[in-house]
């Protein structure tokens, strides 16, 4: 069973996804980070080829920068926490795509 199948099975039939719970301004900021990264640093969605530990390490790095007072990423000008959130989603995406 894949990780994707496991999480779907664990929810059960009585749990419905409530998309209204998402903080949409934050989601939009994360999309901006991923778009900036795709256009300025990487291309072709190459984040999918990296490992969960790679993305996790980068996520922690962005969180540490935020906690140390660097609220905005120096390269992109976008919030460090949005970079951390993007890396968390990348971790989850890579994990769920594993066989």
CA 30 to chain CA mean position, Å:
7
Euclidean distance between CA atoms 52 and 68, whole angstroms = 24
- For the chain, domain boundaries: 27-39+47-99
Amino acid 63: pLDDT: 98
pTM of the prediction?
0.85
Residue with tokens 């998309």: 19
- Rounded to whole angstroms, the Cα distance separating 3 from 86 reads 20
Q: Three-state DSSP class for 72?
A: strand
- Stretches where the chain sits below pLDDT 70 are 3-4, 7, 12-13, 99
Question: Residue 60's pLDDT is what?
Answer: 98
3-state helix, strand, coil in the chain (%, to 5): 70, 0, 30
Res 66: pLDDT: 98
């Amino acid at each position: 069973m894949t990780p994707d199948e496991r999480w779907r099975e664990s929810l059960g039939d009585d749990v419905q996804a409530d998309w209204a719970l998402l903080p949409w301004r934050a989601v939009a900021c994360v999309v901006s980070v991923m778009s900036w990264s795709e256009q300025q640093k990487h291309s072709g969605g190459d984040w999918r080829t990296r490992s969960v530990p790679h993305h996790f390490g980068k996520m922690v790095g962005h969180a540490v920068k935020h906690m140390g007072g660097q609220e905005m990423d120096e390269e992109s000008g976008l919030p460090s926490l949005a970079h951390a959130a993007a890396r968390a989603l990348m971790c989850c995406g890579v994990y769920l795509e594993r066989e």
